[in-house]
């Protein structure tokens, strides 16, 4: 898979891809992540990528020209399955969406800034708009990192124990059950007996029960 992230702050995005599961997936060649500096596609002397909003009002708007130049240059090299714009008014990211995106070959993620991008970019270049939650961030970089992380860890081979991603919360519309590790008794705080029993079927049943209980309590909407 290839993820091309268009940003005015590539430095802000380096670190998330330089550690842990994401770094390993990149090192293994399961995914290629490119941070593309939008300013490289600006034809202005000052490499500016934004301008005042038509009609007035506070806040700058990201211009269509550099974005169009950048996306067209990328599209000339390969076809893209999705051109994503990170936006608070987009479709809310969830595990189902990440599962689908993780099966794609090439995607672009465009990070917005200021008041967002010129609407014509959204109308003519973007195929999918994603929000990571009902709050406003300063820029799309953190959203792009969240989206990429949730996708990359689902690519087969990214997580060493493959079943691990499949037993995470939201797969099967259930929250994950509680987990414990050693010691089995910490100052009288004990691990449930069943987990120490070695009885695989009972452990599986207990985990399923706990998942259901937790989902009913915390996220009954998932069970509908």
Binding site for ligand SAH (CB under 6 A): 86-89, 111-113, 115-116, 131-133, 135-137, 139-140, 143
The minimum distance between CB 87 and ligand SAH, in angstroms, equals 5
68, 122 contact by CB (below 8 A): no
Residue closest to 30 by CA, chosen among 121, 98, 103: 103
Name the residue nearer to ligand SAH (CB basis): 86 or 106: 86
Residue closest to 4 by CA, chosen among 23, 43, 32, 39: 32
Name the residue nearer to ligand SAH (CB basis): 58 or 189: 58
The minimum distance between CB 116 and ligand SAH, in angstroms, equals 4
Name the residue nearer to ligand SAH (CB basis): 89 or 217: 89
Residue closest to 141 by CA, chosen among 98, 173, 99, 111: 111
Name the residue nearer to ligand SAH (CB basis): 30 or 142: 142
175, 169 contact by CB (below 8 A): yes
The minimum distance between CB 62 and ligand SAH, in angstroms, equals 8
Element spanning 205, H or E:
helix 200-218
List Cα–Cα distances, 171 to 150, 163, 174, 210, 221, in angstroms. 12, 11, 6, 15, 14
In 30-187, which ranges are continuous DSSP H helix? Answer: 64-77, 95-101, 119-124, 141-152, 163-166
Question: Peptide bond preceding 32: is omega within 30 degrees of 0, i.e. cis?
Answer: no
Name the residue nearer to ligand SAH (CB basis): 116 or 177: 116
The minimum distance between CB 89 and ligand SAH, in angstroms, equals 5
Give a three-class secondary structure readout of 57-86: CCCEEECHHHHHHHHHHHHHHCCCCEEEEE
The minimum distance between CB 77 and ligand SAH, in angstroms, equals 24
The minimum distance between CB 210 and ligand SAH, in angstroms, equals 31
């Amino acid at each position: 898979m290839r993820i091309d992230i268009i940003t005015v702050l590539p430095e802000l995005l380096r670190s998330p891809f330089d550690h842990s599961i994401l770094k390993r997936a990149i090192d293994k060649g399961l995914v290629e992540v490119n941070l593309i500096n939008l300013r490289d596609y600006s034809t202005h002397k000052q490499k500016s990528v934004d301008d005042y909003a038509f009609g007035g009002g506070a806040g700058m708007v990201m211009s269509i020209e550099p974005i169009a130049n950048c996306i067209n240059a990328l599209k000339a090299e390969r076809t893209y399955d999705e051109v994503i714009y990170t936006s608070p008014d987009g479709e809310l990211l969830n595990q189902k969406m990440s599962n689908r995106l993780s099966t794609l070959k090439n995607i672009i993620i465009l990070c917005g800034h200021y008041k967002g991008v010129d609407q014509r970019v959204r109308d003519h270049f973007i195929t999918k708009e994603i929000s990571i939650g009902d709050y406003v961030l300063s820029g799309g970089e953190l959203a792009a990192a969240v989206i990429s992380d949730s996708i990359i860890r689902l690519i087969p081979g990214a997580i060493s124990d493959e079943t691990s991603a499949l037993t995470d919360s939201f797969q099967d519309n259930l929250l994950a059950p509680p987990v414990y590790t050693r010691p089995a008794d910490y100052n009288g705080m004990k691990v449930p007996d069943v987990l120490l029993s070695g009885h695989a079927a009972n452990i599986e049943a207990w985990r399923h029960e706990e998942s259901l209980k937790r989902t009913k309590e915390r996220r009954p909407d998932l069970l509908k």
